[in-house]
Amino acid sequence: MIVKILKKSSTFKAVNYNTGKVDKNKGELLLVKNFGVLQGIENVRPQDYINYLEAVSSSSTRIKYPQFHVAISTKGRQHSKEELSDIAQKWMEGMGYGGQPYLLIFHKDTNNNHVHLVSTRVGRNGKKISDRFEKLRAYRVLDQIMGVDEKQVLKDQLEKALSYNFSTRAQFMMLLETNGYSLDLTAKTYTINKNGQHIGSIDLSEIDQKIPERKKDTARMTQIRAIFEKYKSIYDTSINNTDHGYSSEFAEFLRKKFGLEIIFHGKNGKPPYGYTLIDHAKRAVYKGGEIMALKDMLTVKPDQTDESRNEPIQNGIQLADKDNQAEINSENEEEVQSENSDNALDDTPSNEIQSAKHAPSEQETVFHIPDINISDDIDDEAILGRNRRRKRKARTNTR
């Protein structure tokens, strides 16, 4: 399950966006809470909700972007609209918005059930609802509601990662980073963080003793090459470069169909020079050159960075939720497009800590594509590890 705090705005256009979904039978208004007399009136117009939110927000002239717009999404149909409604209300309470006026809308036009929440950041007392470390707290509150024990989850993830065949520490790190963790190297351990919180560590000796045990499955490698050869002529292999990372139709297909996850390696937003492949089906990690040279597999398009997308990928997204996250990002873009006559939307990051956002630098960057990871015949430990230690940053882009 994921939670995403959407773009800030000085107006409440998210009300029209969500009620528009309802009008098109793509959504359902589940709850109108704390709107006073409006809750007793039939046939309330969207503008009535906007007027009420503006009236509450007018008690403070210092808050420039009062709209609070959030999406909470489950994987597929794991949670019903009723369950999502209950989770969303508890989440609002945990984030300090329980007493605020807000709308709760269920969206049913994507592969993943999800709800949207629209409220105001201005409290009844005229003060701003705390947004301190907001994006980090968003996941902590959701984890508490869902009863997630992060330490137990990490223990399970470490056990699973150690069961893979890998040849370098860097490859082991990728296995955790694709699940939203960041790792920092110390003298004897990797310290492990998630959502800005330290949750555990692993001794380097545990990793190092697994490296010599790696056995290449030549039959499987041959099979993967055959898969690449067969489908690269069917699916578009062109790489699109956005500030969310690299993507391609071909890579998406391999991820969904065969559990082959490609991680592209690039620098400063330029076309990738290599990749690493994670074979989740057989629990093995390969340098891309062991399977197929990047130039023989993919076509790189010119830089197509969409500068309108400033939202970083959240650090807490689980691998299984990446399709889910993509839907939310797409909806976010849809909302912006539906408001292209309104210049009030603001993409400027808040002052909170945004550990997932990476400013351009000379440091090498590894762009992550959901569920498929590939690298050319390059020593990822020697090159990627060295640069990451220099900057103390994670290998993959996170959301």
> What's residue 335's pLDDT?
64
Higher per-residue pLDDT: 163 or 332: 163
> What's residue 115's pLDDT?
97
Query: pLDDT grade, residue 392 (50/70/90)?
Result: very low
Q: Is the pLDDT of residue 391 over 80?
A: no
> What's residue 244's pLDDT?
58
Written as one letter, the residue type at 130 is: S
> What's residue 384's pLDDT?
46
Mean pLDDT over each residue of the chain, to the nearest integer: 80
> What's residue 130's pLDDT?
94
Query: pLDDT grade, residue 309 (50/70/90)?
Result: very low
What is the architecture, at CATH level 2, of domain 2-146?
A: 2-Layer Sandwich (3.30)
Q: Is the pLDDT of residue 388 over 70?
A: no
Are the C-beta atoms of residues 395 and 277 closer than 8 Å to each other? no
> What's residue 160's pLDDT?
96
Share of the chain above pLDDT 90, in %: 61
Higher per-residue pLDDT: 321 or 176: 176
Higher per-residue pLDDT: 72 or 348: 72
pLDDT in tens, 233-255: 999 998 887 655 777 899 999 99
Can you tell me the mean pLDDT for 164-172?
Answer: 96
Sign of the dihedral through C-alpha 60, 63, 66, 71: negative
pLDDT in tens, 17-31: 999 999 999 999 999
Higher per-residue pLDDT: 223 or 195: 223
Pick from 228-232, 270-274, 326-330: least confident: 326-330
Pick from 32-46, 154-168, 371-385: least confident: 371-385
Can you tell me the mean pLDDT for 211-239?
Answer: 94
> What's residue 344's pLDDT?
33
User: Residue 202: which of 149, 150, 157, 140 has the closest Cα?
Assistant: 157
> Where would I find the beta strands (DSSP E) of the chain?
2-5, 8-9, 27-33, 67-73, 102-107, 114-120, 182-185, 189-194, 197-203, 238-242, 245-247, 260-267, 274-279, 284-287, 299-300, 345-346, 364-368
Q: Is the pLDDT of residue 296 over 80?
A: yes
> What's residue 355's pLDDT?
34
Are the C-beta atoms of residues 199 and 149 closer than 8 Å to each other? no
Q: Is the pLDDT of residue 370 over 80?
A: no
The full DSSP string for 196-219 is: TEEEEEEEHHHHHTTGGG----HH
What does the alpha-carbon distance between residue 180 and residue 260 come to, in Å, rounded to a whole number? 18
What does the alpha-carbon distance between residue 220 and residue 306 come to, in Å, rounded to a whole number? 37
What does the alpha-carbon distance between residue 393 and residue 399 come to, in Å, rounded to a whole number? 14
At 6, is the secondary structure helix, strand, or coil?
A: coil
Cα angle for residues 316, 86, 135 (degrees, 5° grid):
25
Can you tell me the mean pLDDT for 199-205?
Answer: 96
Higher per-residue pLDDT: 268 or 174: 174
What does the alpha-carbon distance between residue 136 and residue 147 come to, in Å, rounded to a whole number? 17
Phi, psi of 24 (to 5 degrees): -90, 10
Spell out the domain ranges in the chain.
Answer: 2-146, 151-213, 218-321+357-391
Can you tell me the mean pLDDT for 55-61?
Answer: 95
Higher per-residue pLDDT: 313 or 284: 284
Can you tell me the mean pLDDT for 116-131?
Answer: 96
Cα angle for residues 389, 391, 396 (degrees, 5° grid):
80
> What's residue 346's pLDDT?
34
Could you say which DSSP state residue 187 is in?
Answer: S
Share of the chain above pLDDT 70, in %: 74
Would residue 122 be called left, alpha or beta, if left means φ above 0 and alpha means ψ between -120 and 50 degrees?
beta
> What's residue 334's pLDDT?
67
> What's residue 189's pLDDT?
96
